[in-house]
Amino acid sequence: MTISVELKQLCIDPSSRGRGLAARFMAVAKQQQPDGLTLWTFQVNTSARRFYQRHGVTAVEQGDGRRNDEREPDSRFVRQPRPRPS
């Protein structure tokens, strides 16, 4: 059975940044989705892109904005599942 979970938006208030909240959300997401994650962010959101990359999520696709409400160019990031012990 495959379970699909979609997180539509995650925003951290600028005054709350630097407290580890996003890292905790990412840890929960990794735990809940051990078979991998797919995340999207706008290409102009360099802080989100750096955050994803620091947490082992790789950019795999660049979009032109046609698929999002804001019509803003975006990027799809994927975290591959960890290899399972044999």
Q: What is the pTM of this model?
A: 0.78
Confidence of residue 3 (pLDDT cuts 50, 70, 90): low
- Predicted confidence (pLDDT) at residue 6 exceeds the cutoff of 70: no
Cα(55)–Cα(71) distance, integer angstroms? 27
pLDDT for 8: 65
pLDDT tens sequence across 18-49: 899 889 988 888 888 888 888 999 999 999 99
Exposure pattern of 17-39 as b/e (b: 16+ CB <10 Å)?
eeeeebeeebeebbeebeeebbb
